[in-house]
Structure formats: C-alpha cells, structure tokens
Amino acid sequence: MILHPGIVALLGSSAIVNMMMLYSAFAGLRIIRYWDSKSSSALQLSLERRTYLLSSILSFVLGVNLLGLFLFIYTADDLHTQFVGAMCATGTLNANPIGWWVLGMKLVLFLFSAVWIFLNYLDQRTEDVPFVKKRYALLLVMTPLFVTEALLQLRFFLGLRPNIITSCCGALFSENSGGIASSIAGAPVRPMEYLFFTVVFLYLIVALCFIVFQMDFLKYLLGGLALVFLPVSIASIISFISPYFYELPTHHCPFDLLQGLYGYVGYPLYISLLLGTLFGLFPSLSEFFKGRSELPLRRWQRLWTTAGGISVMVFTAISVYPMLFSSFVLEG
C-alpha cells in the first residue's frame, strides 16, 4: 500500500517537515532559555540570527501543511476505487478510521502554524520583539503534535488493505463482506441549519460591534465565536450544505466538493472558512500575547475583524447560493 505515489509524497514531505520541526524545537529551547533582548552578547546575536531561519522554516511548514491537507484528501479520494463500497475519500477514510484523526490533526496543525506565522509577523513589526518567548513556547507545543500526526498518518497508510482479487475467490467473500460505510451520516438538517445561521449571525454582529465600538471583551467573544464557527461549519457542510451542491439528499461527502464535477466550489468554500476562523482569532490572540509591549494594535485588529467578517460572508454566500437558486429542496 505504501508504494502509491501520493503516499510516497505525503510520507516524504511529512518526514521533511518533522525533521525541521524537531530542529526548530531544539533551537527554540535555547531561545526560551537564553533570550535577553537587552543583552548584546555573542550568544544573543546568534540567537537573533537563528530566529530568521526558524521563521523561514515555519513559513515553509505552514505552506506544506496547507497543500498537504488537500493532497491527503486527494490521495484518499484516488485510493477509494480499491475498497469495496467506497465512493469517494470518505470510503477510504472509513476503511481505516485513523484517517479521520489524521485529517483533523492536519487541520489543527494548519491553524497552529498560521497563528505562529501571524505572531511572527507582528513581532517583526516591533523593535523589542515582545512575543519571542511565547512564540517558541508555542512551537514546543506544536512539535509533538506534528510528530503524532506523522505517526498516525503512517499507521493510516500501513493499515489500508486494498480489496483485490485473491487466489481462492474474489476478495468480496474473504472479507466476510462486512463492507464499509460509503458515506457519513450528517446531523439532522433543521437544528443544524438553525445553529449554523445563528453562529454566522452572531459572528457578524460581534465583528460589526467591535469595528464600531472597539470594546475589549468583544475581541475575546469574537475569538470564541471563531472557534465555534469552524466545527459548526464543517458539521453543516456535511449535514446540509453539501447535499445542496450534489442535489442528492443522501450524499453528504465533504470532499467531493473539491472535484471538478462540482466546479471546484470546495476550494473557495474551505479557504473562506479557514480565513474566517483565523481572522476571527487574530484580534484576541494579538491582545493576549501582547503583554506590556506597545504595538499599534487597534487599527490592525479592526482590519482583521473586517477581513474575518468578509470571509464569513463569502463562506455563507457560497453555501446559501444553491439553496436559493437551485430547484433542489432538502426537506429536514
């Protein structure tokens, strides 16, 4: 199973990423321990130089991670023909349920790396780099997650057994024909619709209030809503958004949206979802990590909140479009 080109590519890139993360964690430990922005010792200079390397590495890791997320889904989709009853990537992931964990981990790690890059960006805008130690502490949290993700991914691919013809008879019969579920059941439609639109509505209202009134607690509220928005939206895609695109009430696959058959609508959908989540998190995170440093955060926070609001609106517009303009009606 391991010899599929997509699997070779994924395992190879995850090996590279992990080596880089381990190195960064090691360098990060030294930074946490010896960093002193007031000092002008040789050690401090070498640490400061090293931060350039680490931020390049992390940007690289972030990029590979995002592409890897899609490559993983694509590979799962490409493999589905080899499993009895599998219709798309969902079938492959069901064939070895660790796959779902891998996918979830990839998503979480993407968010982590994006937050890290964001803090790095802020840091580079200031003289005294206030976030340095916090950033490298975050890196130390991320590294074991990266290693876990790589190991889970390896186990996932090792555990996939394609159903091919065996010598005694078709594989169908040797497998005791248990089969795998070809689709995932979505949450009930009506309640999910209410929940989704409530969350979107709250997000937009809070974002608007923050832009207008600039009250501090609204930032944290927005951050919390962004964290709720992500899982609720994914659940909604599975439950009622994707069936509208497929125009098929039984088809809940969140991955088929990425295919050309549906106009690649999944890409803008998922990208706006991720951006909406990230931009919603940024104002509260920047406030939280800021500490006592003096950053002109106000203006940026408003900008991020606006960007987050726009992303959420784009996401909602794409999701609502087929509900309004297609003849298909999904009865809860």
Partner 1 sequence: MRRHLFILEFALSGLCRRRYKNLALLVAYSLLIFIISSILFLTHALKREAELLLQSSPEITVQRLMAGRHALVPVDWVDTIVSIPGVIDASPRYWGYYYDPFTGANFTVLGVRSSEFPLKGREDLDPEDCLIGSGVSETGLLRTGDSLVMVDPEGIARPFRVAGVFSTSSSILTNDLVVLKEETIKRFFQIPEGYAVDLVVRVANPSEIDTIAKKIKEKIPSSRPITRTEILRTYESLFDWRSGMVLSMFIGALLAFFIFAWDKATGLSAEERREIGVLKAIGWDSSDIMEMKFWEGLVLSSLAYLTGTITGFVHVFMLGAPLLESALKGWSVLFPSLKLRPVIEVYQLMVLLFLTVVPYMAATIAPSWKAAMTDPEEVIRS
3-class secondary structure, 254: coil
Burial 55-83 (b: 16+ CB within 10 A, else e): bebbeebbebbbebbebbbbbbbebbebb
42 contacts partner 1 (rule: CB under 8 A) = no
SS3 127: coil
74 neighbors 6 (Cβ within 8 angstroms): yes
C-alpha Rg value of the chain to the nearest Å = 23
- Location of structure tokens 């069901």: 94
Smaller CB separation from partner 1, 84 or 323: 84
* Residue 240 beta carbon to partner 1: minimum distance, rounded to whole angstroms: 26
Backbone φ, ψ for residue 14 (5° rounding): -70, -30
Binding test (CB under 8 A) with partner 1, winner from 38, 40, 42, 49: 49
Question: 3-class DSSP state for residue 92?
Answer: helix
Q: How far is the CB of 249 from partner 1 (least distance, A)?
A: 18
Number of residues that bind partner 1 (CB under 8 A): 45
Specify the stretch interacting with partner 1 by CB under 8 A; choose among 64-72, 126-134, 140-148, 202-210: 64-72
The yes or no reply on residue 185 touching partner 1 (CB under 8 A) is no
> Under the criterion CB under 8 A, does residue 93 sit at the interface with partner 1?
no
- Asked whether position 20 contacts partner 1 by CB under 8 A, the answer is yes
* C-beta of 174 vs 326, nearer to partner 1: 174
* Binder of partner 1 out of 117, 145, 147, 171 (CB under 8 A): 171
Cβ-based nearer residue to partner 1, 158 or 317: 158
16 binds partner 1 (CB under 8 A): yes
How far apart, in whole angstroms, are the C-alpha atoms of residue 197 and residue 201?
6
Interface with partner 1 (CB under 8 A), residue from 44, 66, 70, 290: 70
Which residue of 4, 133, 155, 290 would you call a contact of partner 1, by CB under 8 A?
4
Three-state SS sequence of 237-303: HHHHHHHHHHCCCCCCCCCHHHCHHHCCCHHHHHHHHHHHHHHHHHHHHHHHHHCCCCCCHHHHHHH
The least CB distance from residue 301 to partner 1, in Å, is 22
CA quadruple 153, 120, 291, 115: dihedral sign: negative
CA–CA gap between residue 256 and residue 73 (Å, rounded): 10
Which residues 107-126 are close enough to bind partner 1 by CB under 8 A? Answer: 124
Instruction: Kindly tell me which residue out of 25, 31, 62, 82 binds partner 1, with binding defined by CB under 8 A.
Output: 82
What does the binding site for partner 1 look like in residue numbers (CB under 8 A)? 2-10, 12-13, 16, 20, 49, 52-53, 56-57, 60, 64, 67-68, 70-71, 74-75, 77-78, 81-84, 124, 162-165, 167-173, 177
